[in-house]
Amino acid sequence: MSETTTVSNKSVWTPFNLVAGIIVAIGLVLTVLRFTGGLAAVTNLSDDNPWGIWIGFDLLCGVALAAGGYVTSAAVYIFGLKRFHSAVRPAILTGFLGYALVVFALHYDVGRPWRLPYPFVVQQGTTSLLFEVGACVALYLTVLFIEFTPAALEWLGLKRARNLVVKLTMLLTIFGVVLSTLHQSSLGALYLIAPSKLHPLWYSTYLPVYFFVSSIIAGLSMVLFESTLSHHYFGDKLDEAHKRESLGVTLGFGKAASLVLAGYFIIKVIGMATANTWHYLNSGYGAWFLVEMLGFVALPCFLYAVGVRDRNVKLIRYTAAWTVLGIVVNRFNVSLVAFNWHLPSSQRYFPHWMEIMISVFIVTVGILVFRFIVTRMPILYEHPEYHGH
């Protein structure tokens, strides 16, 4: 008993917990400031720049990087790739937490957050893309929650409820794929309304397609990245099946990511050809566009391929982290860097440090909740009572 107490006391005061604790404490203070002083108290947002990093990072990156849920469950349950089954629960959990944090972050970003459910009740019409995004995110968050519940129900020992939810797996997976296809592309379509504001190298009538295809890349890479971290930090939680399937998951997802990246590169070039924006490459924005296209699309595409050919797990995992960064770069470029590109720098938006800190706080909350769940519920291992079910 005393030993247990000593161990738990030791584990509480780790450097990670201390840093996380400080971030959460600062985040809570900033939260009070945000909800008592309004957006102006903690942000550099204005009527000219109403969308900042809470949209560019928390929402656009959050939704894209949470795509692992629908990508993995579609691969396993719809395409029948059962050898990736061990990746489903971690991917669903990452997806669920990702979307939950998106909605959490929206409460900070939306001027009157208590009106978030309004689109379902009070609205001017259903033709708005934002309505579609709002509806899909709300529905998909519900779907992800239900998909996640078997792990929680197994942990709570509620066998009958768990078996009932498991029977809904295929239905939920189909819902998930449909809803994700809709809103991942709609997030890109939001920018179709601003052809004069978004730099021509990033603006394209194919933006919805770009966002959807890149979300598949983000989902695959995020599963690999999350799996790397889980192996490192929660290695003791992994059961034999997860360890055995790990190599196959890494090689399979790496191969898929490489192929989708190649396709994404092609459709981006085709987009440039149809809009005839080649001459913009010969500018500062063009150089940055090339960094994105060559450094964060073509390079990981090649590295994934080399990793798969050589069965180099380490290379694939590093490439996954690089690709996740690339997705963040892409979403930042569309929503911030290349947005309002013609304005002088004095009129451009740059986030306030408190905006950045709140985003860091939200990510930290996500990591803490992920750790809480993974260390308690059967996410990285099969519950012994439900083995093979």
Partner 1 sequence: MGIKRERALFMESTFFTLQDFMTFTKGVTYILMVVALIGITGFWLFLSGRDEDDAVDPHPPEHHG
Q: Where do contacts with partner 1 occur on this chain (CB under 8 A)?
A: 255, 258-259, 262-263, 266, 269-270, 273-276, 278-279, 282, 305, 308-309, 311
Measured from the CB atom, the residue of 259 and 369 that comes closer to partner 1 is 259
Phi, psi of 198, rounded to the nearest 5 degrees = -90, 135
* Shorter beta-carbon distance to partner 1: residue 193 or 269: 269
Cβ nearer to partner 1, comparing 51 with 280: 280
| CB 194, min distance to partner 1, A | 21
Q: How far is the CB of 168 from partner 1 (least distance, A)?
A: 35
The helix (run of H) or strand (run of E) holding residue 195 is none
**Euclidean distance between CA atoms 71 and 219, whole angstroms:** 6
Residues in the chain: 389
Contact partners, residue 67, CB within 8 Å, separation at least 6:
95, 180, 184, 215, 216, 218, 219, 222
Burial 192-222 (b: 16+ CB within 10 A, else e): beeeeebbbbbbbebbbbbbbbbbbbbbbbb
Q: CB within 8 A of 332, min separation 6: which ones?
A: 56, 57, 61
Which of 105, 305 has the CB closer to partner 1? 305
Question: What's the rounded Cα separation, in Å, for the pair 153 and 184?
Answer: 29
Q: How far is the CB of 272 from partner 1 (least distance, A)?
A: 9
- Shortest separation between residue 283's beta carbon and partner 1, angstroms: 9
Smallest gap from Cβ 257 to partner 1, in A, equals 11
Q: Is 51 helix (H, G, I), strand (E, B) or coil?
A: coil
Of the pair 309, 376, the CB lying nearest partner 1 is at: 309
For residues 206 and 181, give the distance between their C-alpha atoms in angstroms, rounded to a whole number: 14
User: Of 65 and 213, which has the nearer Cβ to partner 1?
Assistant: 213
User: CB of 200: closest distance to partner 1 in angstroms?
Assistant: 10
Q: Closest approach of Cβ 323 to partner 1, in Å?
A: 16
Compute CA 1 distance to the chain's CA centroid, rounded to the nearest angstrom.
Answer: 41
* Closer residue to partner 1, CB minimum distance, 112 or 342: 342
Q: Which is nearer to partner 1, 104 or 265 (CB)?
A: 265
Which residues make beta-bridge pairs with 339?
A: 198
Nearest approach, Cβ of residue 250 and partner 1 (Å):
14
Cα separation, 103 vs 180, in Å, equals 15
Cα–Cα dist 57/54, whole Å: 6
Strands (E), 104-169: none
